[in-house]
Chains A and B, each alone.
Chain A
């Protein structure tokens, strides 16, 4: 390498005007052993710079704690919710079908059931009219009881009269 160019570069270097490429050139020049004595101080500097970069390494491991996310727990909870909701809706909700959606057999069963219910219902009506007769009778009965009270009142009054007569006779 031309010695002059190195000197020029060094001057620029001292003024902080060299580019990174030029600095790398200088480093390369000064890491070889035969350097002119009066540039010894530069040699020491550049050797220091390149050795520290190669040797001073960070070798320790960094304990990286992963933030344990609770997401899996929450997923299981959500899954449970979805499952129970599914069971609930299939068991109790959404089971209503219109008559036309039923199969033939189901329609037949349904018709029969309706018939039976209506039969029971009509008998029940009849029973109710009979019960009305009972109601009338009990009504009359209570009227009769009311009248009977009059009778008992009368008999009490007569008893009093008899008692007073008996007293008078004793005196």
Chain B
């Protein structure tokens, strides 16, 4: 497989890999590093790649696993700062300012979702995968995926209406 063949093969989903990585790792640089890592891994195994029927799903699964591993090792390294006396109801001034740009606000809300829901929401609402494809990536049955997706969507909207009530409107 030549470089051009590989680029052609990877082109349709490299942005999706990057977006999923960014969704999970949050920081732009880390997501770029992760994407590069994934693409390099694919390239090094480019002989075996042809055997996979769905390369995109395979790449997305790789990305998911890679990022979750990253997060795990990060958590092990760093101390977490826990706000035990933090109250969500009193939207601070800072939050209100952030809420002005309500589209960005959505990404902040998604950041707070559990990893599994983040991945499913990303794949469904942004990348528009069907449930079978998502099932391959996250290794869950479609019903469970639906439930997680519904939960994620409801949480986002709940938090959004909260900010709307306190913030913009």
Contact B128 A40 (CB under 8 A): no
Contact present for B164 and A40 (CB under 8 Å): yes
- Bound Cα distance A90, B11 (Å): 56
Q: Please determine whether A44 and B105 come into contact, CB atoms closer than 8 angstroms.
A: yes
A62 near B43 with CB under 8 A, answer yes
Partner of A16, one of B39, B106, B146: B146
Q: Is A2 in the interface zone, CB < 8 Å from B?
A: no
Report B-chain residues with C-beta under 8 Å of the C-beta of A42.
157
Chain A, range 64-88, C-beta contacts under 8 Å to B: 64, 66
From A20, A44, A58, A66, give the contact of B3 (CB < 8 A): A66
Whether the Cβ atoms of A44 and B15 lie closer than 8 Å is: no
A residues 21-64 near B (Cβ < 8 Å) are 23-24, 37, 40-42, 44-45, 47-49, 51-53, 56-58, 60, 62, 64
- Establish whether residues B128 and A51, one from each chain, have CB atoms under 8 Å apart when the complex forms: no
Please determine whether A52 and B153 come into contact, CB atoms closer than 8 angstroms.
no
Say yes or no: is B126 at the interface (Cβ < 8 Å to chain A).
yes
Docked complex Cα distance between A57 and B15 (Å):
5
> CB distance A44 to B150 under 8 Å?
no
| A interface footprint on B143-169 (CB within 8 Å = 1, 0 otherwise) | 001111110011011001100100001
Q: Is A110 an interface residue when CB atoms closer than 8 A count as contact?
A: no
> B164 touching A48 by the CB < 8 A rule?
no
Interface residues on B, range: 35 or more
Given A40-B169, A58-B18, CB of A48 within 8 Å of CB of B103: yes
Proximity bits, B7-28, A CB within 8 Å = 1, else 0: 0000000110111001000000
Q: Is the interface of B mostly helix, strand, loop or mixed?
A: helix
Partner of A56, one of B15, B106, B154: B15
| Contact across chains for B154 and A52 when beta carbons are under 8 A apart | no
Do B161 and A41 have beta carbons less than 8 Å apart? yes
Distance, CA A41 to CA B35, complexed state (A): 32
Residues of A within 8 A of B111 (CB): none
Given contacts A48-B107, A66-B3, contact A57 B18 (CB under 8 A): yes
Alpha-carbon distance A134/B31, docked complex (angstroms): 107
A15, CB-defined interface residue at 8 Å:
yes
Given contacts A20-B128, A52-B107, 20 further A-B contacts (CB under 8 A): A14-B154, A16-B148, A41-B157, A41-B161, A42-B157, A44-B102, A44-B105, A45-B125, A45-B156, A45-B157, A48-B106, A49-B125, A49-B126, A56-B15, A58-B17, A58-B35, A60-B32, A60-B35, A64-B40, A66-B3
Interface residues of A (CB under 8 A from B): 13-17, 20, 23-24, 37, 40-42, 44-45, 47-49, 51-53, 56-58, 60, 62, 64, 66
